Every structure is written in C-alpha cells, then in structure tokens.
Structure 1
Amino acid sequence: MTRRRAVGWTTLADVRTHLRRRWDDGQLLAAWAAGQPFHPVDVTLRGPVGRDLTDRFDEVRAWRQEWLAVVDRSADLQLVMKSVGRRSIGANELPARLVVDGGWEALWRLLQVTAEVRRFTQLRDSVPTGAHAAMLVNWMNAHPLRVLAHQPDAEWTRVLATVRWLVSERGHSRYLRQVPVPGVDTKFIETHRAVLADLLDVVLPADTIDQTVPKAQFARRYGFRIPPLYVRFRTLGATPPRLPGVPEMTVRLDSLEAAAADVGTVFVLENEITYLAFPAVPDAIAVFGGGYGFTAFAALPWLSARRVYYWGDLDTHGFAILDRLRATAPTVESFLMDRATLLAHPEQWVREPTQARGPLSHLTPAEAALHDDLVAGTYGAAIRLEQERVGFPHLEASLTRLLS
C-alpha cells in the first residue's frame, strides 16, 4: 500500500527532488548570490482523485495527514487545499500545492543545503581585497556551484592565489613551473585549467590575451613561456654536416630561424624508420616528424627559398596535414601522396580508424580528387596507405624521376 502511494502521490521527498534540479543547475544559488528578491516557490502536488476516496480512503487520509504534519513542523511552508469528492462520500479538502514563502533561508532548509550556502558565503567573503576583487566576486556569484566543487576550502584559496600570481607575472618570461603558491604546481594548474582560464578571461584586459590561442594551450594564451620545439634532421647528400662527422642533429626550432640549412631541398617525413633509411639525395636534408604540430617548422622564413616536399600517410589525415602546412608555406609539395602510389600497393592498404572530414582549401586538383575518393570510399571503406608500407623500390624509383 505504501509503495503504491509513493508512486502515485507526491511526497515531501518528491518535492525536494523536483526543486533540487533547480539547485543542481545553479540557478537558485546564483539568483540568491546576485541579490535577487525571493519569490514564493509553488509546487503542484499530485494527489488522490475522487475515486480514491472510495477505493483507498485510509491511504488518502494518511497521505493528507502526512502533509499536514509537514506544514505544522515549519512556518515557512503553506498548503493550498482543493475540494475532492463524490456525492456518495462527500467533498474532502486535500493538499493541492505546496508553497514555500519564508524566503531564501526557508528554501535552503527545505532543500537541506543550508551548509552549502554558508560555505559559499565564506568562500566569497574570503576573496582578498584588491584591484580584481569585485570581478572575482561577480564571477563567483554567477558560478556558485563551480566554486563549491572545489573541496576542501583551501583548494579554492589556492585557485585565487594562483590567479593573482598569473596576473602579476604574465609577460615576464616565466614558466608556469615557477609558481610559488604553496601546494600549487603545474599539475594543479593543469587540473584546474578550465576555471583558471575563465577567471583570467574576466580579470585581464582582452588585448592582453592571445585570443587566437585556445584555452587548452594555457601558457601561450596568457603570456607564459612554453618549452621550446625541437627539430630532428639528417643530411642526405654529400654536403658536409654543420658539425664534421655528425650527419644527424636535433636542434631547437627557434635556433633554426636564423641558422638556415645550406641545402636546396628539404624532405619532411612522418615515419622514423623511413626518415632513417631515406636514400641519399644531393643537396638535401630529411626532417623527421611532420604532423599537425609541425606548422611552426613550415613558418621558418628561409624555407621559402628551398624546395620542400612533405610525405605523410596517404589518407585523409595526411592530406589534412599537407593542407595545414600549405596554409603556412604555400610552396610545399607533396611526395608519394598520389593516386599511382596508392594503386600500386593494394595489398598494403589498411583501414583508417577515423577520417578527417573538414574542408581542405590548399590541395592541388589532383590531391583534392584523391582525397575526395578516399572520403567517398571509391576504392574501399576508409582505406589508407601508411608511409612505412610504401615499397622501397617504389620510393627509389620516384626519387630517381624527381631528381632527373
């Protein structure tokens, strides 16, 4: 009997669950934090109908008494009654709506969140006075549940202290590793990157943030140093290496901005073994590691005076990388990323797990046609030819034609 009533008729627990949704999305606490006036909360109660007075009279009476007891225990709650009944049994006054009209504190008591509200108040009041205090408090008022998600309270205190250091030290050639806040390290910053970025976007002038850089690249976006990029390359021809007896080197990318390679041709290769085994080519070097992150290498100013070939996997991602490189260095040419190479190795085709489907505007007509065929599955569903699967005789023959 009790189980049937719990399913069909509204209980106090049901009301709390209904209102809890508005608490969980933050709108109730944000309204209170912003100083908005309290408006009585009116919740419709799903209760007995006339037939229940005949069929389930004892349950109806128990349900009514439970609600009367609820409002008797709290002056903050009011019941609105309605008349329900039939001629055979007479009209009965039953609860129809529960009204919370005792203010915000009454609503907090009903939701059993008084402790959380008190904790938010304490965290908000703990914001140190200073130039950005008002902006930080306004952000906290708008996002109270994000503040409460930081436990214990000392964690939020460290977040605010980190924001103060980030604001004062940005643009001073600092690494994030140098943060002096007790209990804060680079892992802490990475873990709390989203909230730190939102707070910095609020307190910093927009023109001091690199808006072209996503929040995921936290250090670059907010003016902190990032680890340098390194480039690995080897001499392919008879040209003497920069260091006698050292045919292969790894150097910082920023060092290559001024130190141009004394060669006429540059091959950018994706696969390490292919890079190491690449045949001898006069007046050329091989660079290992193209990929999506290699756009910075393509931006080296002296590359525009060299002939640059990119050889990546013959799949949609390989063409996407080529397209991105060309956006920075329009003269980059593809190597072994053609239909003849694909069709010469059908036994080496594998399946591309996920295809890159974005628009590519920097491909040649032949490259674009092949890319479209890969997307359309002209030769098979999501096929790909990885660089390391291209036969070495095919590579050597292609190089011979290229050099001739």
Structure 2
Amino acid sequence: MPKKLLLPEAVRDLLVRRFNNQHQAWLIGGGSWPLVVSLGIPTEKDIAGDPQAVRAWADAWQARTGPGRVVCEERQFARLGRHSLPVHLELSDAGQVAAVVGQARRWTTASERFRELVERWPVPALRAELASRFDVLADYSKDDFIRLTSLLAWLERNPKSGLYLRQVPVEGLDTKWLEKRTALVAALLRALRNSDGSEEADFHELCGLRKPAHRVRIRLLCPSLRSLVGGLGDLEAPVGELASLPLRPKSVVIVENLETGLALPDIPGTVAIMRLGNAVSALGALPWLQGVPAVYWGDIDTHGFAILNRARGPLPQSRSVLMDEETLVAHRALWGLEASQCSDLQFDRLTLDERAVYQNLRAGTWGPRVRLEQERLDWPSAVEALMSALDDVQHASTADEAKFAEAALPN
C-alpha cells in the first residue's frame, strides 16, 4: 500500500500526538475547527499497482464508525473510470478528537471543571494556569477537586487569617494532602491574584497562614552546659527559643542523622546538633554558636555534601570529618545506594578535597549512586576520629585568638 494512504489506525496515532501536544491550548479555546486530517488520495498508478491494498484502504474507511465524519469525493480516472474515495476525516471539535484517541472521559471532566472555575473566577491568568494543570482537572477525584476549590475559595476570602494549616475550616483538608499540592495551590492562588509571587516566596506567607516554628534538636554533651539549663541534656524547641539559652560552648558537632547524635558520648564544652538536613541554615539563628569551633559529620553522598556546603553559610568555620575519599573507600562493604543524587551544582563553600569527592560521586567514579551512611561506620573508630577533629578545631581557634591578642598589643 502506498505510504501516503493512511488507515484508521495510523490516523488515530497521528491524533494521539496532536491531542498530547495541543489539548492545553484547546482547553482555553485554541485550535482551528473543524480539524481536517487528510487520508491520502491514490493516483491511477497507485490503484493499478496494488488494487487490493487500495480497495482494503477504502473499505476500512467506509466501514469506520465513531466520532468525526469521513468525507468522500468522486474521482475520475482515465482508464479506471469514476470512483468514490475517502479523502479526509473531519472532526468538529476537541471533544471529538478526545473521543477518537480514548480520552473522552478525561476531556469532558477537565472541560467541565475548567468552565466551573473560570466562571467562578473570571481572571485571565487563571485560564492559562488551569490549562497547564490539565491532569489535575481531568484526573482528580470528585472529593479532591471539591477540597481544592474549597481551599482556594477560603484563602481568597481570608488572605491573612494567621491560622495554622490544621485550623483551616475546609472539609477533608489535612497536612499530608496539602504537602503534596503546595506548588499547585500556590500557582493557582497567584493566578487568582495576578501575582508572580515575587513578594510572597514562602507558601505560608502567600496563603496568609501561620508557619510552624522551625524546631531544632540539640544535645548538651557537657555536664557544665547541662547545669545551665536545669540539668537537661536532650532538648528540642523552636530555634528562636533555643537562641535565648545561656550557653557558651567551646565547640559544636553537627551530625546529619539523629541516631548518631543520640549515641555521642559526653564531650567537655560541646553541643551536638542533630538531624537538621537542608534546614541547616537555621544555625544562623543561634547567637551562641557564632565563631565557635565546629565539626560537621554527614553521610558521604551528594546530598551530604550539599548540606555541608549550606552549613558553611552560618558557620563558615565548620570542618568536615569522616567525609573523605579514604573513609569511603575503606568501607566499601558498607556502601548503599543514594535514592537520587542532588543537582549538579557548584558548591563554592566546599574545600578542594570535599569538592573532588562530591564530583566523583556524581560521576559514578566508584559506582552508580554510591553512598556511605555515617551510622554504618565502626563506632569506636568514628568517635576517635571525631574527638581528634574537635581537638584540632579547638586548638586552631585558640591559636587564632592568641595571634589576634598579640596583634592587638601596643608596640
């Protein structure tokens, strides 16, 4: 059969691609209708060369049922006489295209929900945003869609409620549901307000909700420090409250994982800060840490180095420990796999050696997505290395203070 002659299956494949590429534009009224798809027109040479194939093509279109209209035309051939041949498939609107490609239910649901929302909020920016969220309109359950629209309506009526999320009186709304949809809610809310979000980068601020205070967990590894807070050694509180503690530690240990921090022994003059993850920048809110010798111990994986780089913002004096190539290679039997690596970023706060390990991890030098979790290390050896690093940073700090004091003396 000549390639230019399209059977119903080939036209359907073509329309699947057309629907996938243009359904968002169609939702907001785009497209030129009716949509006409040429089926190919055989020449007299085509018919003479393979009459059975051309007849099968024509029969397939004549027998076709379903959305759209197959348009036939009379064609006069010099030797073969006059024949009625299918020439194109005509589809009156996007709904017919959706039906042809098996998307009728999704298209109908999305269209109805789109109309409902733009009639409720006739804001031009919302039309474009909703079109980009076709899957939400098409696939959300009835309950989820009602929950979403009810939340948007409540936030519009109460732009500065100052409530916590769990206090918002929307039926079925809970933290887990919203955590998966914060980007969606923020985008729709900005569209409703014709705002690009530049003034309200934070989700809670955008919604006028009260943000839960960031909580930090610390351990006071020194009896003298514990005596300053009534003997408490394991504390978790909003960072603003921890900032007011009357502490003057001689050193700080920052560990990525909670279990590691809980297992640390007593260390004179030392505070341990645990499980901050990407919120490690909160250390900048603790005035009693500023200038204190610091050791950071995290997992050897790409995210571990990303957090280390972030930690050096508020604590530029931080020194890493047990995050080097030697430690990684010596514990090959304990390696695991990083679920996904962090983006390929230029971490300008890492040392040359640290950056080399990070880049080799990303490059798969030791294997794909290699990671070594800190709690997998031999504990006595790890504690020994940590204590040695603390001694080094404390001595370096003391030496720096002595140099500063000497320089301050009058000649």
Fold similarity call, TM over 0.5: yes
Paired residue for 2:216, among 205, 208, 231?
A: 231
Tell me if the contact between 2:68 and 2:90 (Cα under 8 Å) persists in the aligned partners.
no
Secondary structure of the 1:287 match is strand
Shift of 1:202: 0.7
Q: How does 1:15-164 map to 2 (within 5 A)?
A: 15-27=11-23, 30-31=25-26, 33-34=28-29, 38-46=32-40, 50=44, 53=47, 57=51, 60-61=54-55, 63-64=57-58, 67=61, 78-80=71-73, 82=75, 87=79, 90-93=80-83, 95=85, 97-98=87-88, 100=90, 103-104=92-93, 107=96, 111=100, 122-127=112-117, 132-135=121-124, 138-139=127-128, 142-143=131-132, 145-146=134-135, 148-150=137-139, 155-164=144-153
Return the letter of the residue paired with 1:18: L
Distance 2:355 2:90 in 1: 65
2:185 aligns with 196
Task: Pick which of 364-373 and 387-396 moved more.
Answer: 364-373
Distance 2:181 2:390 in 1: 50
Q: 1:201/1:237 Cα in 2 relative to 1: closer, same or farther (>3 Å)?
A: same
Shift of 1:197: 3.1
Secondary structure of the 1:156 match is helix
Distance 1:12 1:287 in 2: 66
Q: 1:403/1:278 Cα in 2 relative to 1: closer, same or farther (>3 Å)?
A: farther
Distance 1:303 1:121 in 2: 56
Secondary structure of the 2:236 match is strand
Shift of 1:164: 1.5
Tell me if the contact between 2:293 and 2:394 (Cα under 8 Å) persists in the aligned partners.
no
Secondary structure of the 2:337 match is coil
Tell me if the contact between 1:64 and 1:94 (Cα under 8 Å) persists in the aligned partners.
no
Shift of 1:155: 4.7
Q: 1:384/1:105 Cα in 2 relative to 1: closer, same or farther (>3 Å)?
A: closer
Q: 1:243/1:301 Cα in 2 relative to 1: closer, same or farther (>3 Å)?
A: closer
1:261 aligns with 2:244: no
Shift of 1:268: 1.1
1:275 aligns with 261
- Cα deviation 1:67-117 (Å, max 9, x = unaligned): 46779x9996533455567x5xx345353621528x549956984988877
1:168 aligns with 2:157: yes
Secondary structure of the 1:173 match is coil
Paired residue for 2:282, among 293, 296, 304?
A: 296
1:353 aligns with 2:337: yes
Shift of 1:365: 4.0
Tell me if the contact between 1:50 and 1:84 (Cα under 8 Å) persists in the aligned partners.
yes
1:325 aligns with 2:301: no
Q: 1:166/1:338 Cα in 2 relative to 1: closer, same or farther (>3 Å)?
A: same
1:177 aligns with 2:166: yes
Q: 1:70/1:279 Cα in 2 relative to 1: closer, same or farther (>3 Å)?
A: closer
Q: 1:264/1:140 Cα in 2 relative to 1: closer, same or farther (>3 Å)?
A: closer
Secondary structure of the 1:133 match is coil
Return the letter of the residue paired with 1:45: L
Tell me if the contact between 2:319 and 2:393 (Cα under 8 Å) persists in the aligned partners.
no
Secondary structure of the 1:239 match is helix
Secondary structure of the 2:187 match is helix
Shift of 1:286: 1.6
Tell me if the contact between 2:125 and 2:194 (Cα under 8 Å) persists in the aligned partners.
no
CA RMSD of the aligned region, Å?
Answer: 4.5
Return the letter of the residue paired with 1:358: L
Distance 1:300 1:326 in 2: 14
Tell me if the contact between 2:251 and 2:394 (Cα under 8 Å) persists in the aligned partners.
no
Give the TM-score of the pair, scaled to structure 1.
0.72
Q: Specify every segment of 5 or more residues in structure 2 that has no aligned partner in the other structure, as ranges.
A: 396-411
Tell me if the contact between 2:129 and 2:191 (Cα under 8 Å) persists in the aligned partners.
no
- Cα deviation 1:262-319 (Å, max 9, x = unaligned): 3232211234454334343332212222433322234434422433321223454433
Q: 1:181/1:26 Cα in 2 relative to 1: closer, same or farther (>3 Å)?
A: farther
Secondary structure of the 2:345 match is coil
Give the share of equivalent positions with the same residue, in percent: 27
Secondary structure of the 1:249 match is strand
Distance 1:321 1:46 in 2: 60
Shift of 1:200: 1.4
Secondary structure of the 1:163 match is helix
Give the TM-score of the pair, scaled to structure 2.
0.71
Return the letter of the residue paired with 2:224: T
1:363 aligns with 350
Return the letter of the residue paired with 1:300: L
Tell me if the contact between 2:294 and 2:393 (Cα under 8 Å) persists in the aligned partners.
no
Q: Specify every segment of 5 or more residues in structure 1 that has no aligned partner in the other structure, as ranges.
A: none
Shift of 1:49: 6.0
Secondary structure of the 2:304 match is helix
Secondary structure of the 1:159 match is helix
Distance 1:385 1:13 in 2: 52
Distance 2:364 2:53 in 1: 66
Return the letter of the residue paired with 2:19: W
Q: 1:167/1:305 Cα in 2 relative to 1: closer, same or farther (>3 Å)?
A: farther
Secondary structure of the 1:206 match is coil
Distance 1:144 1:56 in 2: 48
Task: Pick which of 119-128 and 278-287 moved more.
Answer: 119-128
